[in-house]
Structure 1
Amino acid sequence: MATIVVIGGAHIDRKGWLSAPHRPGASNPGHWHTEPGGGAFNAARNLVRLGHQVSLVAPRGGDAAADLVARAAEEAGMEDCPLTFLDRATPSYSAILEPDGNLVTALADMALYDMVPARRLLSARLRKRLAAADLLLADSNLPETALAALADAACELDLPLAVIAVSPAKVVRWKSSLGKITCLAMNSAEAAALTGRQAGTSGAWVSHLAQTGLRGGLITAGSDPVTAFTTSPQDRDQGRQVITLQPPPLDQLQDVTGAGDALASGYLDGLLAGGSLQSNLVRGIALARLTTGVCGPVRLDLSQAMLAQALEAMPKPSQIQTPMQDSHP
């Protein structure tokens, strides 16, 4: 069991499920489902259910939505350490989903996150928690100055820092701190935002990202192959490890929300246990598959035993061999 401090988004997810395929410009029948979510919070709930000791530090308002988040944190079994703004509304994310679970559009009301100053975030109490932790996990919801201060604190403590990208618009907040990140979980659009490049192969993505100083990461692209990589700070070419796997087809798809957070959670669970790059990635794929099989961003019944059974039952992902760099500069 590892001790993990998780910092970032813990808000309200509102999902509108369409009863039939989306018709633009028309009134679409369906129903709403409301529950707590957020990249950092989803990962925190996964990791605590996998047996880790998790402390959650997340901004929220002084409203009923904040109470929903607090109850969900308590039910999951983590230590809840909110940064409360009593006169503000808790952030929310509202999404419209097709009947098959794919996203049509979404609205993110996240203004509160931009109000968190680095000084309030890095209190003496938080620094004490970080000093006793095995991993710091953050998402990209907070302001750039706060994220840079977090990265500096992790570097000073020699504490591994894992990051969930959240979106192309927000992941760039880490640009000045990429060399201090152990693992950045992102999709191809977020990788493009960080590098200012487009890449035709996973090897090219890794090369571009390594040039930014990033020490490791996960790169996804929907149902396409997913890549995990690490680089050595001393020699980013010779010290590089890369694995690209094609996930097996899904048995069923209920909801894609939280799949990326689950992939990162499973990967980090393996990393904390000392697993290999490939076994950690397979573990992440298995947890993502489990999560897409339920309605909601996490599985409330998740356990190490369930994940072990899913790993045993899952068809072996296909390994993809790709060149390390595109032929085009």
Structure 2
Amino acid sequence: MTKRQITVLGGAHLDRRGRIGGMTVPGASNPGTWFEEAGGGGFNAARNLARLGHRVRMISPRGGDRAGEMVAAAATAAGVIDCPFTFLDRNTPSYTAILENDGNLVIALADMDLYALFSPRRLQQRATRERLAASDLVLMDANLPPETLTALVDATAGSNRILAGIAVSPAKVVRYRQSLAGLDFLFMNEAEARALTGAEAAAVEEWPSLLRSQGLSGGVVTRGGKAAVAFDRNSNCLAVPPALPALADVTGAGDALASGFLAARLGGTGLAGCLRHGIAAAVITLHSPFAVAVEMSAGNLARVLALVPEPQMLS
């Protein structure tokens, strides 16, 4: 495999997850366990791509606190080249989630104000411009302000590199509205696709046309354990994830899918093969208690790929 140069810009923060021990009782105290690790859509993808053998740089704002040190340590452990800009008097952003006993999300709170300081001016710094120019893939997430996403798309337009985005959440995916036409791929779940298109509901086969009508030329829409759909400028395809007996944790599965898909695309794989690789990466993550599976590797991805059915090409 050829090692590619990748730059990721977006969320890299503290990820807290509480898991309820039994049946969820709304409006009451629920016994459970608490866990902390480094997270963030962009950072999860960056670590997965590094574990898959690529040279990955992560650019993100950070506070001068213990959480920031945790993020730096996680980058080193995964082989990511850490390129933060640090505000010593600020706190590193955080994401706090409450999960049901089966691993599904109940509710989450995102304290992300520091990302507002990632302004378009940061992209004009010489070191950042050089990193972007040398990249085969530039990946961003919607923790960045909308004007920064637009500036980033403009700064990297007109090249042979892949430019992709991660939706992050229904509330944040709309930040891409002014930059959709410049993206090669956007990775989202069905709730995020609804937020972006305004569609109340749609059959899975309808998402490509609905998203193309918004100006997006390529993307993936996931639907939990149900069929996911992918599209690019020329084709659409559908794939059903393999049934899993149990989920360790759903956190990071979508970021892993984006990583597996993009790693395959960098290798010249077609749309259907990219979707299979993405689903295989998500399966590895769903079996892990961490947002980024320690077991993520090119070898393990190839083995799990055998479990993923061939996608169905759509007209």
User: Which residue of structure 2 aligns with residue 235 of structure 1?
Assistant: none
Q: Does 1:245 align with 2:239?
A: yes
Give the whole-Å Cα distance in 2 for the aligned partners of 1:98 and 1:18: 5
Quote the residue 1:97 is aligned against: 99
The alpha carbon displacement at 1:256 in A equals 0.3
Report the AA paired with residue 117 of structure 1.
S
SS at match of 2:121: helix
Distance 1:16 1:26 in 2: 14
Shift of 1:158: 4.7
Paired amino acid for 2:290: G
> Retained in 2: the 8 A contact 1:2–1:52?
yes
Distance 2:224 2:192 in 1: 13
Q: Which residue of 2 aligns with 1:282?
A: 276
CA deviations over 1:124-159 (Å, ceiling 9, x no partner): 111101111101000000111111110101104453
C-alpha deviation, 1:317, in angstroms: 5.2
1:121 & 1:30 partners in 2: Cα distance? 42
Are 1:295 and 2:297 counterparts? no
Q: Distance in 2 between matches of 1:298 and 1:217?
A: 22
Contact 1:199 1:205 in 2 (8 A): no
CA distance in structure 1 between the partners assigned to 2:220 and 2:25 by the alignment: 34
Equivalent residue letter for 1:44:
A
Aligned to 1:255: 249
SS in 1 for 2:226: coil
1:139 to 138, 141, 147: 141
Alignment of 1:63-212 (within 5 A): 63-212=65-214
Matched pairs, number: 313
2:178 alignment partner, SS class: helix
Q: What SS does the corresponding residue of 2:281 show, helix, strand or coil?
A: helix
Question: 1:181–1:214: 8 Å Cα contact kept in structure 2?
Answer: yes
Which residue of structure 2 aligns with residue 27 of structure 1? Answer: 29
Query: Residues 284 and 295 of structure 2 are in contact (CA less than 8 Å); yes or no, is this contact kept in structure 1?
Result: no
8 Å CA contact retained: 2:272, 2:310:
no
Secondary structure at the aligned position of 1:263 is classed as helix
**More deviation, 187-196/170-179:** 187-196
Instruction: Report if the CA contact (8 A) 2:272-2:313 is conserved.
Output: no
Q: Percent identity?
A: 51
Question: Which of 219, 226, 230 is equivalent to 2:221?
Answer: 219
Change (3 A) 1:252 1:56: same
CA deviation profile, 1:232-290 (whole Å, cap 9, x unmatched): xxxxxxxx300011112014310000000011111001100001111110111111011
Contact 1:95 1:105 in 2 (8 A): yes
Q: Which residue of 1 aligns with 2:309?
A: 316
Task: Give the C-alpha shift of residue 301 in structure 1.
Answer: 2.7
Q: Which whole-Å CA distance do the structure 2 matches of 1:92 and 1:173 have between them?
A: 19
Bigger CA drift: 112-121 or 153-162?
153-162
Distance 1:211 1:315 in 2: 30
User: Using the alignment, how far apart are the partners of 1:265 and 1:301 within structure 2?
Assistant: 14
Q: Which amino acid aligns with 1:261?
A: D
> Which one is further off, 116-125 or 197-206?
197-206
Per the normalisation by structure 2, the TM-score is 0.96
Contact 2:237 2:311 in 1 (8 A): no
Task: Give 3-state SS (helix, strand or coil) of 1:198's partner.
Answer: coil
Instruction: Tell me the distance in 1 between the aligned counterparts of 2:313 and 2:196.
Output: 24
Q: Which amino acid aligns with 2:17?
A: K
What code does the residue aligned with 1:187 have? N
Hey, what's the Cα distance between the residues in 1 that align with 2:202 and 2:45? 29
How large is the Cα RMSD of the aligned pairs? 1.4
51-60 or 112-121: bigger deviation: 112-121
SS in 2 for 1:225: strand
Question: Measured at CA, do residues 11 and 124 of structure 1 come closer, stay the same or move farther in structure 2, by a change above 3 Å?
Answer: same
1:63 Cα deviation from its structure 2 partner: 0.6
